[in-house]
Chains A and B, each alone.
Chain A
Amino acid sequence: MILSLKKYWQLFSKFRSLQLMEMTEYRGNFYFWSIVSTLWTGFNFFFFALLLNINNQLGGWSYWQVYLLIGVFTIIDASFWGIMNQNMWNYTQDVYNGQLSQLLVKPVNIQFVLMTRRGNYTQVSRFLIGLYVIWLSIHKLNLDLSIWQVLLASLVVFTSIITLYSVWFLLATTSFWTERINNINELLPSTSQLMRLPSAAVMGLSSIVITLVLPFTLFATVPSQILLGEVDYTLVTTLGMMSLLLILSSILFFNYSIKKYTSVSG
Protein backbone atom coordinates (compact mmCIF):
# COMPACT_ATOMS: atom_id res chain seq x y z
CA MET A 1 0.00 0.00 0.00
CA ILE A 2 2.81 2.39 1.00
CA LEU A 3 4.84 1.40 -2.09
CA SER A 4 1.77 1.97 -4.22
CA LEU A 5 1.23 5.45 -2.74
CA LYS A 6 4.91 6.23 -3.23
CA LYS A 7 4.61 5.22 -6.90
CA TYR A 8 1.60 7.49 -7.45
CA TRP A 9 3.25 10.37 -5.62
CA GLN A 10 6.39 10.01 -7.79
CA LEU A 11 4.23 9.93 -10.92
CA PHE A 12 2.30 13.00 -9.80
CA SER A 13 5.55 14.87 -9.05
CA LYS A 14 6.95 13.92 -12.43
CA PHE A 15 3.88 15.22 -14.22
CA ARG A 16 4.11 18.50 -12.30
CA SER A 17 7.81 18.95 -13.05
CA LEU A 18 7.16 18.27 -16.76
CA GLN A 19 4.40 20.88 -16.70
CA LEU A 20 6.74 23.33 -15.00
CA MET A 21 9.41 22.69 -17.65
CA GLU A 22 6.88 23.29 -20.40
CA MET A 23 5.75 26.48 -18.68
CA THR A 24 9.30 27.84 -18.45
CA GLU A 25 10.04 26.85 -22.04
CA TYR A 26 7.05 28.81 -23.33
CA ARG A 27 7.26 31.69 -20.88
CA GLY A 28 5.59 34.17 -23.20
CA ASN A 29 2.59 31.88 -23.54
CA PHE A 30 2.39 31.48 -19.75
CA TYR A 31 2.54 35.24 -19.08
CA PHE A 32 -0.01 35.95 -21.79
CA TRP A 33 -2.57 33.42 -20.54
CA SER A 34 -1.99 34.46 -16.92
CA ILE A 35 -2.89 38.02 -17.96
CA VAL A 36 -5.97 36.78 -19.86
CA SER A 37 -7.24 34.74 -16.90
CA THR A 38 -6.53 37.63 -14.49
CA LEU A 39 -8.44 40.02 -16.74
CA TRP A 40 -11.43 37.66 -16.85
CA THR A 41 -11.38 37.50 -13.04
CA GLY A 42 -11.26 41.30 -12.92
CA PHE A 43 -14.12 41.47 -15.42
CA ASN A 44 -16.18 39.16 -13.22
CA PHE A 45 -15.68 41.36 -10.16
CA PHE A 46 -16.36 44.50 -12.17
CA PHE A 47 -19.61 43.03 -13.51
CA PHE A 48 -20.89 42.32 -10.01
CA ALA A 49 -19.75 45.78 -8.90
CA LEU A 50 -21.97 47.22 -11.67
CA LEU A 51 -24.92 45.10 -10.52
CA LEU A 52 -24.45 45.99 -6.87
CA ASN A 53 -24.11 49.65 -7.84
CA ILE A 54 -27.67 49.43 -9.19
CA ASN A 55 -29.05 47.43 -6.27
CA ASN A 56 -27.14 47.30 -2.99
CA GLN A 57 -27.92 43.66 -2.42
CA LEU A 58 -28.40 40.43 -4.36
CA GLY A 59 -30.72 37.79 -2.96
CA GLY A 60 -30.39 39.36 0.50
CA TRP A 61 -26.57 39.33 0.33
CA SER A 62 -24.85 42.68 0.84
CA TYR A 63 -22.03 44.11 -1.30
CA TRP A 64 -19.11 42.51 0.60
CA GLN A 65 -20.98 39.30 1.24
CA VAL A 66 -21.41 38.91 -2.53
CA TYR A 67 -17.72 39.68 -3.00
CA LEU A 68 -16.86 37.01 -0.43
CA LEU A 69 -18.97 34.57 -2.46
CA ILE A 70 -17.26 35.60 -5.72
CA GLY A 71 -13.88 35.13 -4.00
CA VAL A 72 -14.82 31.57 -3.04
CA PHE A 73 -16.19 30.99 -6.56
CA THR A 74 -12.89 32.26 -8.04
CA ILE A 75 -10.91 29.72 -6.01
CA ILE A 76 -13.19 26.87 -7.09
CA ASP A 77 -13.19 28.05 -10.71
CA ALA A 78 -9.39 28.44 -10.77
CA SER A 79 -9.03 24.85 -9.50
CA PHE A 80 -11.59 23.73 -12.05
CA TRP A 81 -9.73 25.28 -14.99
CA GLY A 82 -6.24 24.72 -13.64
CA ILE A 83 -6.57 21.03 -12.83
CA MET A 84 -9.42 19.67 -14.91
CA ASN A 85 -9.86 21.51 -18.20
CA GLN A 86 -6.84 20.29 -20.18
CA ASN A 87 -7.08 16.79 -18.72
CA MET A 88 -10.73 16.41 -19.66
CA TRP A 89 -10.07 17.75 -23.14
CA ASN A 90 -7.15 15.33 -23.69
CA TYR A 91 -9.21 12.46 -22.26
CA THR A 92 -12.08 12.90 -24.72
CA GLN A 93 -9.71 13.44 -27.64
CA ASP A 94 -7.82 10.25 -26.74
CA VAL A 95 -11.11 8.35 -26.77
CA TYR A 96 -12.20 9.80 -30.13
CA ASN A 97 -8.78 9.29 -31.71
CA GLY A 98 -8.23 5.82 -30.28
CA GLN A 99 -5.12 6.93 -28.39
CA LEU A 100 -6.33 5.77 -24.99
CA SER A 101 -4.78 2.35 -25.53
CA GLN A 102 -1.35 3.85 -24.79
CA LEU A 103 -2.52 4.48 -21.22
CA LEU A 104 -4.47 1.23 -20.85
CA VAL A 105 -1.26 -0.82 -21.01
CA LYS A 106 0.43 1.19 -18.24
CA PRO A 107 0.68 -0.43 -14.77
CA VAL A 108 -1.11 2.46 -13.03
CA ASN A 109 -4.69 3.52 -12.41
CA ILE A 110 -5.83 5.09 -15.69
CA GLN A 111 -8.20 7.58 -14.08
CA PHE A 112 -5.32 8.88 -11.97
CA VAL A 113 -3.15 9.41 -15.06
CA LEU A 114 -5.97 10.93 -17.09
CA MET A 115 -6.66 13.51 -14.39
CA THR A 116 -3.15 14.43 -13.30
CA ARG A 117 -0.99 14.32 -16.45
CA ARG A 118 -1.74 17.93 -17.39
CA GLY A 119 -2.23 21.13 -15.44
CA ASN A 120 -2.49 24.83 -16.01
CA TYR A 121 -0.35 27.15 -13.92
CA THR A 122 -1.90 30.23 -15.50
CA GLN A 123 -4.78 29.85 -13.03
CA VAL A 124 -2.49 30.44 -10.05
CA SER A 125 -2.98 34.21 -10.35
CA ARG A 126 -6.77 33.74 -10.24
CA PHE A 127 -6.45 31.52 -7.18
CA LEU A 128 -4.41 34.19 -5.39
CA ILE A 129 -6.87 36.92 -6.39
CA GLY A 130 -9.70 34.80 -4.99
CA LEU A 131 -7.84 34.39 -1.69
CA TYR A 132 -7.16 38.11 -1.53
CA VAL A 133 -10.80 39.03 -2.16
CA ILE A 134 -11.92 36.59 0.56
CA TRP A 135 -9.44 38.14 3.00
CA LEU A 136 -10.56 41.67 2.00
CA SER A 137 -14.25 40.78 2.38
CA ILE A 138 -13.65 39.25 5.81
CA HIS A 139 -11.82 42.42 6.81
CA LYS A 140 -14.59 44.73 5.47
CA LEU A 141 -17.32 42.68 7.16
CA ASN A 142 -15.36 42.63 10.45
CA LEU A 143 -15.74 38.88 10.71
CA ASP A 144 -14.06 37.09 13.58
CA LEU A 145 -13.24 33.66 12.20
CA SER A 146 -12.42 30.55 14.19
CA ILE A 147 -10.04 27.81 12.99
CA TRP A 148 -13.03 25.47 12.81
CA GLN A 149 -14.87 27.79 10.38
CA VAL A 150 -11.82 28.08 8.12
CA LEU A 151 -11.24 24.30 8.13
CA LEU A 152 -14.90 23.50 7.52
CA ALA A 153 -15.16 26.06 4.69
CA SER A 154 -11.97 24.64 3.11
CA LEU A 155 -13.39 21.12 3.38
CA VAL A 156 -16.63 22.17 1.68
CA VAL A 157 -14.65 23.90 -1.11
CA PHE A 158 -12.69 20.67 -1.53
CA THR A 159 -15.85 18.53 -1.71
CA SER A 160 -17.35 21.01 -4.23
CA ILE A 161 -14.26 20.61 -6.45
CA ILE A 162 -14.53 16.81 -6.14
CA THR A 163 -18.23 16.95 -7.06
CA LEU A 164 -17.57 19.14 -10.09
CA TYR A 165 -14.71 16.90 -11.16
CA SER A 166 -16.89 13.80 -10.86
CA VAL A 167 -19.72 15.30 -12.90
CA TRP A 168 -17.30 16.51 -15.55
CA PHE A 169 -15.63 13.11 -15.68
CA LEU A 170 -19.02 11.41 -16.06
CA LEU A 171 -19.87 13.76 -18.94
CA ALA A 172 -16.48 13.22 -20.58
CA THR A 173 -16.87 9.43 -20.24
CA THR A 174 -20.02 9.60 -22.40
CA SER A 175 -17.52 10.00 -25.27
CA PHE A 176 -17.20 6.20 -25.22
CA TRP A 177 -20.87 5.92 -26.12
CA THR A 178 -21.61 8.83 -28.44
CA GLU A 179 -20.47 10.24 -31.75
CA ARG A 180 -17.70 12.83 -31.69
CA ILE A 181 -18.88 15.79 -29.62
CA ASN A 182 -15.96 18.20 -29.29
CA ASN A 183 -17.85 20.63 -27.07
CA ILE A 184 -18.94 18.09 -24.43
CA ASN A 185 -16.22 19.59 -22.25
CA GLU A 186 -17.74 23.08 -22.54
CA LEU A 187 -21.06 22.06 -20.97
CA LEU A 188 -20.05 21.97 -17.32
CA PRO A 189 -17.88 25.14 -17.36
CA SER A 190 -20.81 27.01 -18.97
CA THR A 191 -23.37 25.88 -16.41
CA SER A 192 -21.00 26.19 -13.46
CA GLN A 193 -21.18 30.00 -13.81
CA LEU A 194 -24.33 29.69 -11.71
CA MET A 195 -21.99 29.16 -8.74
CA ARG A 196 -21.44 32.94 -8.75
CA LEU A 197 -24.96 33.48 -7.43
CA PRO A 198 -26.04 33.17 -3.81
CA SER A 199 -28.56 30.34 -3.56
CA ALA A 200 -31.14 32.78 -2.17
CA ALA A 201 -31.03 34.74 -5.45
CA VAL A 202 -32.28 31.74 -7.42
CA MET A 203 -36.03 31.53 -6.96
CA GLY A 204 -39.09 29.72 -8.17
CA LEU A 205 -38.89 27.25 -11.06
CA SER A 206 -35.17 28.04 -11.72
CA SER A 207 -34.36 26.99 -8.16
CA ILE A 208 -36.17 23.65 -8.54
CA VAL A 209 -34.60 22.91 -11.93
CA ILE A 210 -31.06 23.86 -10.84
CA THR A 211 -31.32 21.93 -7.56
CA LEU A 212 -32.61 18.80 -9.30
CA VAL A 213 -29.88 18.84 -11.99
CA LEU A 214 -26.93 19.85 -9.81
CA PRO A 215 -27.01 22.35 -6.94
CA PHE A 216 -24.37 24.64 -8.46
CA THR A 217 -25.48 27.55 -6.35
CA LEU A 218 -24.58 25.68 -3.15
CA PHE A 219 -20.93 25.03 -4.02
CA ALA A 220 -19.76 28.59 -3.32
CA THR A 221 -22.71 29.66 -1.13
CA VAL A 222 -22.22 27.06 1.63
CA PRO A 223 -18.49 27.79 2.26
CA SER A 224 -19.30 31.53 2.19
CA GLN A 225 -22.10 31.03 4.70
CA ILE A 226 -19.70 29.13 6.96
CA LEU A 227 -17.26 32.06 6.85
CA LEU A 228 -20.18 34.40 7.60
CA GLY A 229 -20.96 32.33 10.70
CA GLU A 230 -24.10 30.62 9.31
CA VAL A 231 -23.25 26.93 9.35
CA ASP A 232 -25.91 24.58 7.99
CA TYR A 233 -24.64 21.10 8.87
CA THR A 234 -27.41 19.46 6.84
CA LEU A 235 -26.19 21.14 3.67
CA VAL A 236 -22.54 20.41 4.50
CA THR A 237 -23.34 16.71 5.03
CA THR A 238 -25.46 16.61 1.86
CA LEU A 239 -22.63 18.08 -0.22
CA GLY A 240 -20.16 15.64 1.30
CA MET A 241 -22.36 12.63 0.58
CA MET A 242 -23.07 13.88 -2.93
CA SER A 243 -19.36 14.19 -3.69
CA LEU A 244 -18.75 10.62 -2.41
CA LEU A 245 -21.64 9.25 -4.44
CA LEU A 246 -20.55 11.07 -7.60
CA ILE A 247 -16.91 10.07 -7.39
CA LEU A 248 -17.91 6.43 -6.93
CA SER A 249 -20.30 6.77 -9.89
CA SER A 250 -17.54 8.25 -12.04
CA ILE A 251 -15.21 5.32 -11.24
CA LEU A 252 -17.91 2.71 -11.89
CA PHE A 253 -19.10 4.36 -15.10
CA PHE A 254 -15.54 4.64 -16.40
CA ASN A 255 -14.80 0.96 -15.63
CA TYR A 256 -18.02 -0.02 -17.39
CA SER A 257 -17.41 2.24 -20.40
CA ILE A 258 -13.82 1.12 -20.96
CA LYS A 259 -15.17 -2.29 -21.99
CA LYS A 260 -16.83 -0.59 -24.96
CA TYR A 261 -13.59 1.03 -26.07
CA THR A 262 -11.84 -0.03 -29.26
CA SER A 263 -8.63 1.66 -30.21
CA VAL A 264 -6.89 2.42 -33.48
CA SER A 265 -4.17 -0.09 -34.25
CA GLY A 266 -1.02 0.88 -36.13
Chain B
Amino acid sequence: MKKYISIIQAYFQLSLRFRTESILWMIMDLIPMVFMLIVWRAIFINNDSVSGVNLSQVINFYILSSIISSWTAVHFENTRSIQIKNGGLDTFLTKPHHFLLDIVLKDLAKLLFYKPISLLILMIGYVAWQGPMILNNLSFFTSTSFFSLIGLMLVAYTINFLIGYLITFMTFWFEGAQGLEHFKWMSVALFSGSIMPLALFPKWMQSIIWLLPFKYLFAVPIMVALGQYRLEPSDVIYLSATLFTLLFFVRIVWRKGIMKYSAVGS
Protein backbone atom coordinates (compact mmCIF):
# COMPACT_ATOMS: atom_id res chain seq x y z
CA MET B 1 0.00 0.00 0.00
CA LYS B 2 2.86 2.34 0.91
CA LYS B 3 4.43 2.05 -2.55
CA TYR B 4 1.12 2.95 -4.23
CA ILE B 5 0.74 6.02 -2.03
CA SER B 6 4.31 7.05 -2.92
CA ILE B 7 3.55 6.74 -6.62
CA ILE B 8 0.36 8.79 -6.26
CA GLN B 9 2.33 11.42 -4.31
CA ALA B 10 4.96 11.55 -7.07
CA TYR B 11 2.33 12.08 -9.79
CA PHE B 12 0.56 14.64 -7.61
CA GLN B 13 3.82 16.60 -7.27
CA LEU B 14 4.23 16.43 -11.04
CA SER B 15 0.76 17.92 -11.46
CA LEU B 16 1.69 20.75 -9.09
CA ARG B 17 4.90 21.38 -10.98
CA PHE B 18 3.00 21.93 -14.20
CA ARG B 19 0.11 23.77 -12.57
CA THR B 20 -0.17 26.42 -15.30
CA GLU B 21 -0.75 23.61 -17.78
CA SER B 22 -3.44 22.13 -15.52
CA ILE B 23 -5.18 25.49 -15.16
CA LEU B 24 -5.15 25.98 -18.93
CA TRP B 25 -6.77 22.54 -19.35
CA MET B 26 -9.48 23.55 -16.86
CA ILE B 27 -10.19 26.72 -18.82
CA MET B 28 -10.23 24.86 -22.13
CA ASP B 29 -12.60 22.24 -20.70
CA LEU B 30 -15.13 25.05 -20.17
CA ILE B 31 -15.01 26.27 -23.78
CA PRO B 32 -17.30 23.58 -25.29
CA MET B 33 -19.90 24.33 -22.60
CA VAL B 34 -19.68 28.08 -23.29
CA PHE B 35 -19.99 27.42 -27.02
CA MET B 36 -23.10 25.30 -26.55
CA LEU B 37 -24.72 27.84 -24.23
CA ILE B 38 -24.17 30.58 -26.83
CA VAL B 39 -25.76 28.36 -29.49
CA TRP B 40 -28.78 27.48 -27.35
CA ARG B 41 -29.30 31.07 -26.31
CA ALA B 42 -29.52 31.94 -30.01
CA ILE B 43 -32.00 29.09 -30.58
CA PHE B 44 -34.22 30.09 -27.66
CA ILE B 45 -34.25 33.80 -28.53
CA ASN B 46 -37.59 33.40 -30.33
CA ASN B 47 -38.79 30.23 -28.57
CA ASP B 48 -39.87 29.65 -24.97
CA SER B 49 -39.36 25.93 -25.34
CA VAL B 50 -38.28 23.44 -27.98
CA SER B 51 -39.56 19.83 -27.89
CA GLY B 52 -40.71 20.46 -24.32
CA VAL B 53 -37.28 21.71 -23.18
CA ASN B 54 -36.64 25.31 -22.10
CA LEU B 55 -33.40 27.31 -21.86
CA SER B 56 -33.09 26.84 -18.10
CA GLN B 57 -33.21 23.05 -18.50
CA VAL B 58 -30.62 23.21 -21.28
CA ILE B 59 -28.24 25.25 -19.09
CA ASN B 60 -28.70 22.74 -16.22
CA PHE B 61 -27.96 19.96 -18.71
CA TYR B 62 -24.65 21.45 -19.89
CA ILE B 63 -23.41 22.28 -16.42
CA LEU B 64 -24.17 18.71 -15.27
CA SER B 65 -22.59 17.34 -18.45
CA SER B 66 -19.40 19.33 -17.74
CA ILE B 67 -19.31 18.14 -14.12
CA ILE B 68 -19.73 14.50 -15.18
CA SER B 69 -17.15 14.90 -17.95
CA SER B 70 -14.57 16.50 -15.64
CA TRP B 71 -14.79 13.54 -13.26
CA THR B 72 -15.27 10.57 -15.56
CA ALA B 73 -13.24 11.37 -18.69
CA VAL B 74 -9.81 9.81 -19.17
CA HIS B 75 -7.07 11.09 -21.46
CA PHE B 76 -4.18 8.64 -21.13
CA GLU B 77 -4.56 6.84 -24.49
CA ASN B 78 -2.28 9.11 -26.51
CA THR B 79 0.66 9.31 -24.07
CA ARG B 80 0.51 5.64 -23.11
CA SER B 81 0.33 4.55 -26.77
CA ILE B 82 3.45 6.58 -27.47
CA GLN B 83 5.07 5.03 -24.39
CA ILE B 84 4.41 1.52 -25.73
CA LYS B 85 5.59 2.48 -29.23
CA ASN B 86 8.85 3.89 -27.87
CA GLY B 87 9.56 0.81 -25.77
CA GLY B 88 8.68 2.49 -22.49
CA LEU B 89 6.76 -0.62 -21.46
CA ASP B 90 10.04 -2.47 -20.74
CA THR B 91 10.57 -0.83 -17.38
CA PHE B 92 7.14 -1.96 -16.21
CA LEU B 93 7.63 -5.54 -17.34
CA THR B 94 10.76 -5.88 -15.24
CA LYS B 95 9.49 -4.03 -12.16
CA PRO B 96 7.01 -5.22 -9.55
CA HIS B 97 4.72 -2.41 -10.66
CA HIS B 98 2.13 -3.19 -13.32
CA PHE B 99 1.73 -0.86 -16.32
CA LEU B 100 -2.06 -0.92 -16.02
CA LEU B 101 -1.87 -0.04 -12.34
CA ASP B 102 0.47 2.85 -13.10
CA ILE B 103 -2.20 4.35 -15.38
CA VAL B 104 -4.78 4.04 -12.59
CA LEU B 105 -2.47 5.60 -9.99
CA LYS B 106 -1.62 8.55 -12.23
CA ASP B 107 -5.29 9.23 -12.77
CA LEU B 108 -5.96 8.97 -9.02
CA ALA B 109 -3.30 11.64 -8.53
CA LYS B 110 -5.36 13.87 -10.83
CA LEU B 111 -8.31 13.26 -8.52
CA LEU B 112 -6.32 15.00 -5.80
CA PHE B 113 -5.47 18.10 -7.81
CA TYR B 114 -7.03 18.75 -11.18
CA LYS B 115 -10.52 17.31 -10.72
CA PRO B 116 -11.49 18.99 -7.40
CA ILE B 117 -10.47 22.43 -8.71
CA SER B 118 -12.30 21.80 -11.96
CA LEU B 119 -15.39 20.72 -10.03
CA LEU B 120 -15.15 23.78 -7.76
CA ILE B 121 -15.14 26.12 -10.77
CA LEU B 122 -18.17 24.38 -12.25
CA MET B 123 -20.03 24.35 -8.92
CA ILE B 124 -19.40 28.08 -8.45
CA GLY B 125 -20.80 28.62 -11.93
CA TYR B 126 -23.81 26.43 -11.13
CA VAL B 127 -24.53 28.21 -7.83
CA ALA B 128 -24.16 31.59 -9.53
CA TRP B 129 -26.60 30.47 -12.23
CA GLN B 130 -29.16 28.96 -9.83
CA GLY B 131 -28.89 31.77 -7.25
CA PRO B 132 -31.40 31.48 -4.38
CA MET B 133 -33.10 28.56 -6.16
CA ILE B 134 -30.16 26.34 -5.10
CA LEU B 135 -31.59 26.35 -1.57
CA ASN B 136 -34.67 24.52 -2.88
CA ASN B 137 -32.43 21.81 -4.32
CA LEU B 138 -30.32 21.07 -1.22
CA SER B 139 -32.41 18.00 -0.38
CA PHE B 140 -31.06 16.45 -3.60
CA PHE B 141 -27.73 15.79 -1.82
CA THR B 142 -29.40 13.42 0.64
CA SER B 143 -31.70 11.77 -1.88
CA THR B 144 -31.46 8.38 -3.63
CA SER B 145 -30.89 10.27 -6.91
CA PHE B 146 -27.66 11.78 -5.58
CA PHE B 147 -26.22 8.42 -4.54
CA SER B 148 -27.39 6.86 -7.81
CA LEU B 149 -25.58 9.69 -9.63
CA ILE B 150 -22.34 9.04 -7.69
CA GLY B 151 -22.62 5.33 -8.44
CA LEU B 152 -23.26 5.97 -12.14
CA MET B 153 -20.30 8.35 -12.33
CA LEU B 154 -18.04 5.66 -10.83
CA VAL B 155 -19.32 3.17 -13.39
CA ALA B 156 -18.90 5.73 -16.22
CA TYR B 157 -15.31 6.34 -15.08
CA THR B 158 -14.64 2.59 -15.11
CA ILE B 159 -16.16 2.16 -18.59
CA ASN B 160 -14.07 5.07 -19.90
CA PHE B 161 -10.97 3.55 -18.32
CA LEU B 162 -11.55 0.10 -19.82
CA ILE B 163 -12.20 1.56 -23.28
CA GLY B 164 -9.04 3.65 -22.84
CA TYR B 165 -7.08 0.49 -22.04
CA LEU B 166 -8.35 -1.23 -25.20
CA ILE B 167 -7.42 1.76 -27.35
CA THR B 168 -3.95 1.88 -25.77
CA PHE B 169 -3.42 -1.85 -26.35
CA MET B 170 -4.16 -1.47 -30.07
CA THR B 171 -0.66 0.03 -30.24
CA PHE B 172 0.71 -3.50 -30.09
CA TRP B 173 -0.71 -4.04 -33.57
CA PHE B 174 -1.38 -0.65 -35.20
CA GLU B 175 0.95 2.25 -35.89
CA GLY B 176 -1.68 4.97 -35.48
CA ALA B 177 -3.48 3.45 -32.51
CA GLN B 178 -3.48 6.72 -30.57
CA GLY B 179 -5.77 8.08 -33.27
CA LEU B 180 -8.40 5.56 -32.17
CA GLU B 181 -9.19 7.83 -29.24
CA HIS B 182 -10.73 10.19 -31.83
CA PHE B 183 -13.21 7.43 -32.70
CA LYS B 184 -13.93 7.08 -29.00
CA TRP B 185 -14.58 10.83 -28.64
CA MET B 186 -16.86 10.85 -31.69
CA SER B 187 -18.79 7.80 -30.52
CA VAL B 188 -19.16 9.17 -26.99
CA ALA B 189 -20.20 12.60 -28.29
CA LEU B 190 -22.83 11.11 -30.63
CA PHE B 191 -24.19 8.20 -28.61
CA SER B 192 -23.82 9.17 -24.96
CA GLY B 193 -26.27 12.07 -25.03
CA SER B 194 -23.56 14.54 -24.00
CA ILE B 195 -23.94 17.06 -26.83
CA MET B 196 -27.57 17.95 -26.14
CA PRO B 197 -30.56 16.80 -24.02
CA LEU B 198 -31.87 13.43 -25.20
CA ALA B 199 -35.37 14.82 -25.86
CA LEU B 200 -33.94 17.08 -28.58
CA PHE B 201 -32.45 14.27 -30.66
CA PRO B 202 -34.52 12.83 -33.55
CA LYS B 203 -36.54 9.78 -32.49
CA TRP B 204 -34.41 7.37 -34.53
CA MET B 205 -31.26 8.60 -32.80
CA GLN B 206 -32.86 8.39 -29.38
CA SER B 207 -33.61 4.71 -30.08
CA ILE B 208 -29.97 4.05 -31.04
CA ILE B 209 -28.65 5.91 -27.99
CA TRP B 210 -30.99 3.95 -25.73
CA LEU B 211 -29.72 0.64 -27.09
CA LEU B 212 -26.01 1.34 -26.63
CA PRO B 213 -24.08 1.31 -23.31
CA PHE B 214 -22.70 4.84 -23.96
CA LYS B 215 -25.94 6.25 -22.53
CA TYR B 216 -24.62 5.45 -19.02
CA LEU B 217 -21.75 7.87 -19.56
CA PHE B 218 -23.92 11.00 -19.77
CA ALA B 219 -27.60 10.65 -20.70
CA VAL B 220 -28.67 8.41 -17.81
CA PRO B 221 -26.61 10.15 -15.05
CA ILE B 222 -27.94 13.55 -16.13
CA MET B 223 -31.52 12.30 -16.23
CA VAL B 224 -31.07 10.72 -12.79
CA ALA B 225 -29.65 13.99 -11.41
CA LEU B 226 -32.59 15.95 -12.83
CA GLY B 227 -35.08 13.47 -11.38
CA GLN B 228 -36.23 12.39 -14.86
CA TYR B 229 -35.16 8.77 -14.53
CA ARG B 230 -34.87 6.12 -11.83
CA LEU B 231 -32.46 3.22 -12.18
CA GLU B 232 -34.12 -0.10 -12.87
CA PRO B 233 -32.79 -3.63 -12.17
CA SER B 234 -32.42 -3.99 -15.96
CA ASP B 235 -29.95 -1.07 -15.91
CA VAL B 236 -27.85 -2.83 -13.27
CA ILE B 237 -27.84 -6.05 -15.33
CA TYR B 238 -26.96 -4.14 -18.52
CA LEU B 239 -24.13 -2.25 -16.79
CA SER B 240 -22.74 -5.40 -15.18
CA ALA B 241 -22.74 -7.18 -18.55
CA THR B 242 -20.98 -4.19 -20.18
CA LEU B 243 -18.32 -4.03 -17.48
CA PHE B 244 -17.66 -7.80 -17.54
CA THR B 245 -17.44 -7.80 -21.35
CA LEU B 246 -14.98 -4.91 -21.34
CA LEU B 247 -12.90 -6.48 -18.55
CA PHE B 248 -12.82 -9.76 -20.46
CA PHE B 249 -11.55 -8.07 -23.62
CA VAL B 250 -9.02 -5.97 -21.69
CA ARG B 251 -7.48 -9.15 -20.19
CA ILE B 252 -7.43 -11.01 -23.52
CA VAL B 253 -6.04 -8.11 -25.54
CA TRP B 254 -3.37 -7.30 -22.90
CA ARG B 255 -2.14 -10.93 -22.81
CA LYS B 256 -2.04 -11.19 -26.61
CA GLY B 257 -0.40 -7.77 -26.90
CA ILE B 258 2.33 -8.55 -24.37
CA MET B 259 3.21 -11.76 -26.25
CA LYS B 260 3.57 -9.72 -29.44
CA TYR B 261 5.54 -6.89 -27.82
CA SER B 262 9.25 -6.48 -28.49
CA ALA B 263 11.63 -3.67 -27.66
CA VAL B 264 15.23 -2.71 -28.26
CA GLY B 265 17.43 -3.13 -25.20
CA SER B 266 20.98 -2.01 -24.48
> A50-B202, A51-B43, A201-B38 are contacts. A190–B31 as well, Cβ < 8 Å?
yes
Residues facing B in A160-199 (CB within 8 A) are 178-184, 186-187, 190-191, 193-194, 197
> A187-B28, A193-B35, A201-B38 are contacts. A26–B21 as well, Cβ < 8 Å?
no
Shortest C-beta distance, B214 to chain A (Å), equals: 15
Task: Give chain B residues whose Cβ lies under 8 Å from the Cβ of A39.
Answer: 182-183, 186
B50 touches A203 (CB 8 A): no
Q: Is the interface of A mostly helix, strand, loop or mixed?
A: helix
**Interface presence of B228 (CB below 8 A):** no
A-B contact count (CB 8 A): 89
User: Which of B39, B179, B196, B201 has most A Cβ within 10 Å?
Assistant: B39
**Interface presence of B143 (CB below 8 A):** no
Interface size on A, residues (CB 8 A): 38
> A29-B176, A36-B182 are contacts. A181–B190 as well, Cβ < 8 Å?
no
Residues facing B in A46-93 (CB within 8 A) are 46-47, 50-51, 53-55, 58-59
Residues facing B in A9-34 (CB within 8 A) are 26, 28-29, 32-33
Task: Give chain B residues whose Cβ lies under 8 Å from the Cβ of A32.
Answer: 175-176, 179
**Interface presence of A206 (CB below 8 A):** yes
A203 touches B41 (CB 8 A): yes
Q: Is the interface of B mostly helix, strand, loop or mixed?
A: helix
User: Which of B25, B41, B51, B176 has most A Cβ within 10 Å?
Assistant: B176
Q: Which residues of B contact A (CB under 8 A)?
A: 18, 20-21, 24-25, 28, 31-32, 34-35, 38-39, 41-43, 45, 47, 50-51, 175-176, 179, 182-183, 186, 189-190, 195-196, 200-202, 205
24 pairs, CB–CB < 8 Å, chain A vs chain B? A28-B175, A28-B176, A29-B176, A43-B186, A43-B189, A50-B202, A51-B196, A55-B47, A59-B42, A180-B18, A181-B18, A181-B20, A181-B21, A182-B21, A183-B21, A183-B24, A186-B24, A187-B28, A193-B32, A194-B35, A194-B38, A197-B35, A201-B38, A203-B42
